[in-house]
Structure 1
Amino acid sequence: MATVEDDDSTTESAAQGSESALPTRFGVDRLVLVVAGITAFALFARFLFLGERIAHWDEGRVGWWILQYVHTGDYAYRAIIHGPFYHHVNGLLFSLFGASDFWMRAVVALLGGLTPLAALGLRHRLRDIEVALLALFLTANPLLLYYSRFMRGDPIVAFFMFGAVVAFVRLLDFRQARYLFLGVAGVALALTAKENAIIYPVTWIGAVVLLLDHRLFLAREGERAWTAILKDRLVGFIYGVWHWLHWILLAVVEFFAIVVFFYGPRDGDPGDVGLYNAIGQADLGMFVTVVDRATVGAWKEFYGLWVDGGMSDHAYIPYLGDLAETLGYGALALVVFAVIGFVVDRYAGERPRDLVAFSFYCGFVSVLGYPIVTDIQAPWAALHAVVPLAIPAAVGLGLVLRWGRDALADDDPVGMGAAAVVVIVAVSFVVGMGVYGVYLAPQAQEGENAMVQYAQPGDDVRPALDSMAMAAAANEGTDVLLYGDFFVDRGTNATTDFVYDGYPRDSQLVPNEERGITLAPACADWFNSLPLPWYFNTSGADVSCADGTMELEDAAESEPPIVIVGAHDEDDEDNQENEEAQAREQFPEYWSATYELRTYGTETVFLIHPDYVGEVNASATPPE
């Protein structure tokens, strides 16, 4: 049976080898070809049917804000919608290619598809088979696959931070400054996607402390005292920082340059505070203000909401249970192999590999820690555990494969059978969950897919949205009429100026008389309506609201192409007024289709004018 110290093992000493020794003498590195092939498949899997899933509530919300930035040129950091990465990157894509569900997710799909390439950066610390398996885990894990097709900051953070870890490991091993700058760029870009990136260095420090503690524990059996070893480590660290101080200072400049570029406010009015205004006008005073808003101001916004705002005041156990359920559904094989890889590497070898232990500690602490800091129960929180756990998982699966290989060489049918069963079960689980959860049921209703978060529409609303787009292109006047308490909020004119002195107008840092944002359509209960405002915006639909039966009767005279109303629930004691029946009575000739706007509890009726049904909306039913 194979052990961790067999003849093809790779230990920490491999880090001392030259990078030039990695390619084969024929110039074709088979491992590079394998990982490149895996990466090509990762990209294919992420872009396949990328635009088919209806936008999640949060995708619709952030997508709408990105479009406002594209239309107005106004941007200021709003902590409630997290970092500015998507505003600037997707804003550019929307300007070039148009706003759609596909282009909304293209960047995260690209980054998720390229992440397996980073496994090659660890080949000096891992066996070749482990590098290939790491790339496979990063490619095929169902949870990673699902959320690399989802416009959310968490996968961007996880991918950039994984790349940063790879860069910093190579910095330690090869002492080349380029890895310092790559790692710092990864950290800075992760921070522009979502603020929880600041948690990563904390977990890294904790993992390093555990590694140091392990070294000091082993030192008890050596000739040198643990205090002497600790002193040597500290002196070496201080000397290294001093020797690299000029590079570190440049890296600090790089970090803040990235942060200021992304977090710096923009304003379409040339006279107002904005990064491009300051640069274009060579206005040093305005530029200083921009830097202040991008750093101090952004920190105040973040701290006021996410640290001091009580957003994470909730019971711990339910959130831990929800995270465990997500891992069990979308990453069970990876977690099991990670435990195997960590335990065997740590206790069966002559010297455990720091990278394996470090990654396991980071993943394990993330499992325990994210239920504390997250504000809602969401499967995407598990990404921050799954990505680091992929490294020990690759080690664990590699060990099982070596057991099978040795059993085959020893003509051991029991060993071969056991290894084959483990691999077949694991592969079946990953493929089955991936195909079902990502492609067949990406917007499943409650209880059907644990990777789907509650605010994902449970039904495919696309046919009704196609009818809406058809109406927006052909109709004059109101294209969509919202009706009922769930969708109508009796608002007035929407705000078009979203930024005041480099701050968002809903910020506590803005004077009271200047504060306030009204979202479009202003008459709608905007948050209840999500993700529909995103589709209203992308289709250019003209949206109106009817508040009460009198307004509904008046609106019926113009025959709006689409009428949206909440489905009547006879069991809801707080909503006995049958608004659905009222709408159907006013539009008796309209076809109808009913969809869930969340995974459960939000059945919504779309009434569609006969002129806009046709073949576009095969899911609609004719009037009775």
Structure 2
Amino acid sequence: MASSSGVLSPLQDVRRRVGAWTRDDDHATLKLVTGITLLGLALRLAFLGQRVAHFDEGRVAYWAWHYGESGSFAYRYIIHGPFIQHVDSWVFALVGTSDFAMRLPVAVVGGLLPLSALLFRRHLRRSETVAMALLLAINPLLLYYSRFMRSDVLVAAFMFVAFGLFVRFYDTRLPRYLYAASAFMALGFASKENALVYVVTWLGASGLLLAKVIVLPNGYRDAILFSTDTPSSGEIRARVVGGAKDRIDAGRGAIRSFRTRHDSAAKVVGAYAGHLVLAVLLFGFVSLFFYAPRGAGVPGIEHPPVPASEGTVGFWEGITNPALFGDLLQVTVDRVADQWGEWLQPASEKTSDSYVSHFGVYLKALGFGSAALALLAGVGYALDRLGYTAPRHLVPFLFYAGFVSIFGYPLGTDIGAPWLAVHTAVPFALPAAVGLAAIFRWGLDALSSDDAEGVGITAIAFFLVILFVTNAAVTQVYTNATTDGNPLVQYAQPEQSLREELTEMHRISQTHDSGPDVVVYHGESGDDYDGGNAYVKQSRDDWNESWWNTQPTCIKWYNMLPMPWYFASSDAQVACENGATALGTRIQQNQPPIVITQEFDSTVPRDRLRAAGYENETYSMRTSGYKNVFTVWTHEEYVRNETAR
């Protein structure tokens, strides 16, 4: 064993000082977790509005903007839960429409998630609680999608906090935790429909945990004994029956203990039943608040939209008028049942090949964005099962929950998306914290015993974890955040160089008032018309037709996302053209500041545009596909005039 060296002595001094502080300060863990949470918030808020909006971000942000502008809202499962639409509309009203504003709610919720580690503190060591908060704060996958306006981080955070509050209710029996859990579950269901999957996952993990408790109560030790000395069927039966009896006896003992600690079991059960009913009512009220229609409801978001003032039964009308409350409930329940029914329908075209493809995307995102977390989760689970750490049911429970999600989510989704890996990373944080804290304690033990080699091995392990996490965060979250080579980027992401054009368009639209700010052009027709990729509707008769109020209605709206969000947030006036002659006349007479064309469109009058004073830059609307490339033509004189102002 190496003796204490000049390197170990300062480390030992630091260890003594920190150890004394944590022993003397009852709030040391709280302070550390709070500091880590502030770090997580800072990491999420830094440069939050820099990345160009993804297809999904633009789609949902548009409808949040539309709600704020029109006053009408109706739940549609295709947009996912209504939580983000409501909250974003409030944020837009306060700070204006921008990419920073639309992502702010997700960033705040994701940044506060490390505080959830405190909910499990009765079942974790202090080092494990701090480690869990740290993993939730700096995990690159969670960091990337906390800076992304989708509801996956929202539902993961709300449902995980709800689970932690249920654990606290179990620990303390205080009804306030039951109410809080109910409210957070409602927020989870209001965030995204797969909150239901969390409940199913909890039930499945409970079943696996129960099987483990009955069949292998000592974890891997029982499994090793089973493999080395296989018992007979009678011995297996006796073990299972005996284990079940032991659990039943333990349950009876808990009931007897409960009875001795309370005057009347009936009164206690009645009181908790009352709290349970109130908690369910709270869940219902929060859900009603988010899911209920506003303004004109569905007619208010269709085209042409019905004014919000013509709505008859919305949330505020039903809440403030008891005579309408029943109608409000009926309208909301019918809408939710209809939309959830569509969401629950299995994908008709799901094949084994698509599952393999989605599974590959999931594993790639988990591997590149959360490899350290997943590896540490496996270490923590193994240590718990082998008995190297105090066995706790929470460790295998959350490991099971995260592990089965790896196989379940690719089966249930219709697209392969890296953001789904969030639903494995969050539950993995607790067993991973057990593993990380165990390595940390081994290092402290080595330091206490002057074991330089042990300290060195621990330092190398921590260095590798820090290196991987830092490298992934820098190269996947803050740089290369829109490139196809980034495993966390889903293909419907425009390239980052478009940002300069978007800033220019926003600036121009604020001052230009003589005709459209932007003209979108697509000229190919007939057999040459690419209806699957074109930006402009083929028939001019359809230019003012749309099922939903997706403005501008002359474009093929979904092909052009996220540009409709930028048109809306910039208050840009947009027109369309589908003939080269008509476009030529427009650029000669009216000279719109910006013209958008598509590279694969052979009818684009490029020479006439250049001759009329337009400069062009080409960008990708998606990470791949030559038909996703488009060109932005900006009139040079107008830009110069604007710059001079």
Q: 1:348 to 1:386 in 2, by over 3 A?
A: same
Question: Whole-Å Cα distance in 1 between the matches of residues 399 and 164 of structure 2?
Answer: 15
Question: Whole-Å Cα distance in 2 between the matches of residues 75 and 25 of structure 1?
Answer: 53
Residue number in structure 1 paired with 2:614:
590
Question: Whole-Å Cα distance in 1 between the matches of residues 281 and 56 of structure 2?
Answer: 33
**Once the 2 structures are TM-superposed, how far is the Cα of residue 317 of structure 1 from its aligned partner?**
1.5
Task: Pick the aligned partner of 1:460 from 497, 507, 521.
Answer: 497
SS in 2 for 1:42: helix
Structural mapping, 1:359-378, within 5 Å? 359-378=398-417
Q: 1:548 to 1:400 in 2, by over 3 A?
A: same
Task: Pick the aligned partner of 2:438 from 377, 395, 399.
Answer: 399
Question: Whole-Å Cα distance in 1 between the matches of residues 641 and 442 of structure 2?
Answer: 57
8 Å Cα contact 1:306-1:312 kept in structure 2: no
May I ask how many residue pairs the two structures share in their alignment? 563
Residue number in structure 1 paired with 2:595:
563
Residue number in structure 2 paired with 1:609:
635
- Per-residue CA deviations over 1:511-549 (Å, capped at 9, x if unaligned) read xxxxx3252111101011110000100111110011121
Residue number in structure 1 paired with 2:568:
537
Q: 1:382 to 1:474 in 2, by over 3 A?
A: same
- Per-residue CA deviations over 1:13-32 (Å, capped at 9, x if unaligned) read xxxxxxxxxx9896651111
Structural mapping, 1:143-292, within 5 Å? 143-218=141-216, 225-229=242-246, 231=248, 244-267=272-295, 268-280=308-320, 282=321, 284=323, 286-292=324-330
8 Å Cα contact 1:341-1:396 kept in structure 2: yes
Residue number in structure 2 paired with 1:342:
381
Q: Which has the higher helix share?
A: 2
- Per-residue CA deviations over 1:141-198 (Å, capped at 9, x if unaligned) read 0010011111111110011111111111111111111111111111110110100000
What amino acid is aligned across from residue 274 of structure 1 in structure 2? Answer: G
Q: Percent identity?
A: 40
1:439 paired to 2:478: yes
1:387 paired to 2:426: yes
- Per-residue CA deviations over 1:300-344 (Å, capped at 9, x if unaligned) read 212124425637566322111111110111000000010001001
Task: Pick the aligned partner of 1:41 from 35, 39, 42.
Answer: 39
8 Å Cα contact 1:459-1:597 kept in structure 2: no
Residue number in structure 2 paired with 1:548:
579
8 Å Cα contact 1:259-1:294 kept in structure 2: no
TM-score by length of 2: 0.82
- Per-residue CA deviations over 1:486-510 (Å, capped at 9, x if unaligned) read 2101433266xxxxxxxxxxxxxxx
8 Å Cα contact 2:153-2:422 kept in structure 1: yes
Q: 1:584 to 1:56 in 2, by over 3 A?
A: farther
* Structure having the higher Rg: 2
Task: Pick the aligned partner of 2:332 from 280, 290, 294.
Answer: 294
Q: 1:241 to 1:162 in 2, by over 3 A?
A: farther
8 Å Cα contact 1:478-1:543 kept in structure 2: yes
8 Å Cα contact 1:552-1:583 kept in structure 2: no
8 Å Cα contact 1:263-1:294 kept in structure 2: yes
Gaps of 5+ in 2: 2-20, 218-235, 259-264, 296-307, 523-529
What amino acid is aligned across from residue 335 of structure 2 in structure 1? Answer: G
8 Å Cα contact 1:216-1:226 kept in structure 2: yes
Gaps of 5+ in 1: 2-22, 496-515, 569-576, 618-624
Q: 1:312 to 1:231 in 2, by over 3 A?
A: farther
SS in 1 for 2:427: helix
Question: Whole-Å Cα distance in 2 between the matches of residues 211 and 82 of structure 1?
Answer: 31
8 Å Cα contact 1:466-1:616 kept in structure 2: no
Residue number in structure 1 paired with 2:544:
493
**Once the 2 structures are TM-superposed, how far is the Cα of residue 413 of structure 1 from its aligned partner?**
3.5
8 Å Cα contact 1:323-1:381 kept in structure 2: yes
Question: Whole-Å Cα distance in 2 between the matches of residues 143 and 241 of structure 1?
Answer: 43
TM-score by length of 1: 0.85
Residue number in structure 2 paired with 1:17:
none
SS in 2 for 1:605: strand
SS in 2 for 1:593: strand
Question: Whole-Å Cα distance in 1 between the matches of residues 437 and 640 of structure 2?
Answer: 55
Structural mapping, 1:562-581, within 5 Å? 562-568=594-600, 577-580=601-604
Task: Pick the aligned partner of 2:361 from 300, 319, 322.
Answer: 322
SS in 2 for 1:123: helix
Question: Whole-Å Cα distance in 2 between the matches of residues 121 and 615 of structure 1?
Answer: 58
Question: Whole-Å Cα distance in 2 between the matches of residues 150 and 43 of structure 1?
Answer: 14
Q: 1:223 to 1:97 in 2, by over 3 A?
A: closer
Two-structure CA RMSD over aligned residues (Å): 2.6
The more displaced of 587-596 and 608-617 is 608-617
